[in-house]
Structure 1
Amino acid sequence: MRKVGIMSMQRIANYGSFLQAYALKQLIEEFDCKVEFVDYHVGAPVITENADSKNKFVRKVEKGLETFQYQAPFAHKLSFIRYKQSFSKKYMPLLEITDEMNYNPTLDCLVIGSDEVFNCIQKNSNVGYSLELFGKDNHAKRLLTYAASFGNTTLEKLEKYKKADEVGALLKKFDAISVRDANSGTIVEQLTGKEPVYNLDPVLTYDYMNRCDKIPQVQTNEKYLILYAYAGRISNDEADWIAAYAKKKNLKVYAIGGIQKCADRFVVCSPFEVLAYFRNAEEVITDTFHGSIFSVITHRPFTTLIRKSVGNSYGNEEKLSDLLNRLGLTERMTTKVEETEHINQQPIDYEKVDDVLQKQREIAKAYLCQSIGE
């Protein structure tokens, strides 16, 4: 049995990060492989301006204080802090991840991805600039990526911060490279001269709704709209509009993933229960990559709010435009929350979307089979 490692963002307390890691593990295990998650040493961030504190304890305190600054019910704030603090203890065992870090194990194959594993020009001190995410010092016979993303890192930023040559030299050592978006593909082509394979995020590639037996049934006695967004990203004006819109439609607002001013309920649940809540929702408003994906795989009416990147600030425009374009769902995007009312009334041809997914799943299976098994 081949020993395969996955190096991803698996330790981040985030539903999307967990579900993409779990999905990729399931996909690789289908090829009779023993899968383990591999950790990387965090480096100093390239962007030091307004960077998070490097001290873990200080960072936790800062995050806690930040939570209390958000406009949201006090009880929701306490629940949010408890959810963040308990996430790893509750859910990492489901990925067979322990507190002990797993650095540089000897493997038959190391798969780097999915998620924004190549997003190296940023200020997040949880990740920083780590060349191990580009395969440096690995102890694997084969090295490949799956649906890796540079996120907001562009070729221009790599050159500006003088990292392009270093990153390019490491990328050339990979046996196979798969990316999830056009920006990442362009960078790989420019730095290596080779065209990568394009694969969808594992949450789309692994057929959660038909193959995962861990998604429970959740019962609620009210109809609800899911607002899936990071805390602090929904403006007060947007929150007020969402509250009025939900009231007009006689829906409660369930916030998942982040606390929100307009939420009737902040839902604390397991990653698998998230999909159960999405499946039962009347509609969804999100400004996240995985919130859009959860809406798609549960066949919900949804609106995706687009945030533009300005300078070093973190936007979502590039990755969400790319994702929804690949799924033929660009009409679900808007920069104005008020357009939700019109967008969510428009039916989605999910039969057509599922056809796209089925083709992409076959492409992903062929890529993984060939790349791991060569």
Structure 2
Amino acid sequence: LEFINFEEILVSMNNKSDTTVGIVTFHNAHNYGAVMQAYALFTKLKQLEHRPIFLEDKNSFIHNSYNLMPDFKSPVDFTKRLVKLLLDFDRKKKRSDKFNRFIENYLPCVDISEEKISVNNVILGSDQIWNPNITSGFDPLFFGKHDNLESKNIIAYAASMGKATDKGCMTEEFFNLVGNINKIGVREDKLRLNLKSKLNEEVALTLDPTLLLDKNEWNILTQSADKQKEEYILVYEVEPHPHTYKITDYLEDKFKWTTKTVSSKSSHKVSRKIITTASPEEFLSLFSQASMIVTSSFHGTVFSIINEKPFVTMKFGNGVDIRAESLLANLGLLNHHIKDVSELNDDDIFSIDYTSVNEKMGELRSKSINYLKESLL
């Protein structure tokens, strides 16, 4: 894998004749979906012959949310967080180190808290960068506004408010900040329609960046992984579904497979039989080598499809389902969105026509790549 030269990027950022793209997103979050979407957008921009770099303010709330050691906000809060850390320190430290290593290796960034940066383009997103519940209020940086940032072209790509879209967060402050953006692309249709209605201008629906790369492009990150000898069912959830393990019990009994569960976080409450310390590369390897995948996560669904695996996505019957449901509908895979074992159909699961799925995915991917091409200077 070709690494981008950090010093060359910094030089080019001061050269107005060299097109440079600053990305503002949750690239340093210790979350598989967050770092994967950041890596994918960064990689696609390089393929489009741009020179991207991530922009961050190290004084911001979100930047400090993933420090291993808790911040001292109050004695009570600090003590609670410290106890939780110490109860699971070995796994938390190992996980933190692996995420930091991935971020340092693949997601080069520059701190704009103390120096002015001028770039031709700024891309905002993907992820829930406009969810004030995550960023402790609306953070102007995620709308392209910062005292030390100068750009002639602000673009939103697959930006999201998450559940905040339904909670009255589309306030006057929000729309004033959105007014700073030249081209708007979001990842959920509901947010698109709300913005289009209020702004009276076109708002694009764009793919989550993880879907901008195909199987071969993702496999670059897993080439050094040890090949698994046994067949296994992979479980990946962010929000646990009550019927997930009824599905895996059925599959284990029928196919005599084992089950591996990778957790979205590490905690002393999480069994040590569950994988909590997988690096982003190991996370990808677990998907690429699984025999079958059971997930309730959008990105779990994404990497099941990218790796052309038999899979089911667990249905909650609420707003959590929206992203996966939309993707599965577009790809003709809604029969893989199930609520319990009674809806499990072996014939459907193991007979996915991935030639057809990949053709549909290619069309969606082309539209999003065209949006980037047309929006960037």
- Per the normalisation by structure 1, the TM-score is 0.79
Do the aligned partners of 1:42 and 1:127 also contact (CA within 8 Å) in 2?
no
Alignment correspondent of 2:281: 272
Do the aligned partners of 2:39 and 2:107 also contact (CA within 8 Å) in 1?
no
Alignment correspondent of 1:11: 28
Which of residues 221, 243, 260 in structure 2 aligns to 1:254?
Answer: 260
Matches within 5 A, 1:214-293: 214-216=221-223, 217-230=225-238, 233-235=240-242, 238-239=244-245, 242-243=248-249, 245-258=251-264, 266=275, 268-293=277-302
Instruction: Sort the Cα spacing of 1:193 and 1:174 in 2 relative to 1 into closer, same or farther, 3 A.
Output: same
Measured after TM superposition, the shift of residue 372 of structure 1 is 0.9
CA distance in 2, matches of 1:60, 1:80: 19
Matches within 5 A, 1:45-56: 55=73
Instruction: Sort the Cα spacing of 1:234 and 1:156 in 2 relative to 1 into closer, same or farther, 3 A.
Output: closer
Spell out, residue by residue over 1:126-150, the C-alpha distance to the aligned partner (whole angstroms, 9 max, x if none).
6543232122334211100111122
Do the aligned partners of 2:183 and 2:375 also contact (CA within 8 Å) in 1?
yes
Q: Is the aligned partner of 1:184 residue 2:188?
A: no
Residue range with higher mean Cα deviation, 258-267 or 107-116: 258-267
- Percent identity between matched residues is 22
Do the aligned partners of 1:13 and 1:88 also contact (CA within 8 Å) in 2?
yes
Alignment correspondent of 1:357: 361
Alignment correspondent of 2:6: none
User: Could you tell me which amino acid in structure 1 is paired with residue 119 of structure 2?
Assistant: L
Measured after TM superposition, the shift of residue 93 of structure 1 is 0.9
CA distance in 2, matches of 1:215, 1:56: 42
Alignment correspondent of 2:336: 332
Alignment correspondent of 1:199: 206
Instruction: Sort the Cα spacing of 1:332 and 1:241 in 2 relative to 1 into closer, same or farther, 3 A.
Output: closer
Q: SS at the partner of 2:163?
A: coil
Q: Which stretches in structure 2 are left out of the alignment for 5+ residues?
A: 1-17, 63-69
Instruction: Sort the Cα spacing of 1:133 and 1:343 in 2 relative to 1 into closer, same or farther, 3 A.
Output: farther
Measured after TM superposition, the shift of residue 248 of structure 1 is 4.2
Which of residues 114, 119, 131 in structure 2 aligns to 1:119?
Answer: 131
CA distance in 2, matches of 1:263, 1:349: 37
Spell out, residue by residue over 1:218-276, the C-alpha distance to the aligned partner (whole angstroms, 9 max, x if none).
3122111110113x7244x6446634642442111111233797895526433233222
Spell out, residue by residue over 1:165-221, the C-alpha distance to the aligned partner (whole angstroms, 9 max, x if none).
221222233211111221221122123111212221111112242465232243122
Do the aligned partners of 1:209 and 1:298 also contact (CA within 8 Å) in 2?
no
RMSD: 3.3
Alignment correspondent of 1:25: 42
Instruction: Sort the Cα spacing of 1:247 and 1:64 in 2 relative to 1 into closer, same or farther, 3 A.
Output: farther
User: Could you tell me which amino acid in structure 1 is paired with residue 35 of structure 2?
Assistant: F
Do the aligned partners of 1:144 and 1:176 also contact (CA within 8 Å) in 2?
yes
Measured after TM superposition, the shift of residue 42 of structure 1 is 4.0
Measured after TM superposition, the shift of residue 94 of structure 1 is 2.0
Q: Which stretches in structure 1 are left out of the alignment for 5+ residues?
A: 45-51, 69-76, 310-314
Measured after TM superposition, the shift of residue 54 of structure 1 is 8.4
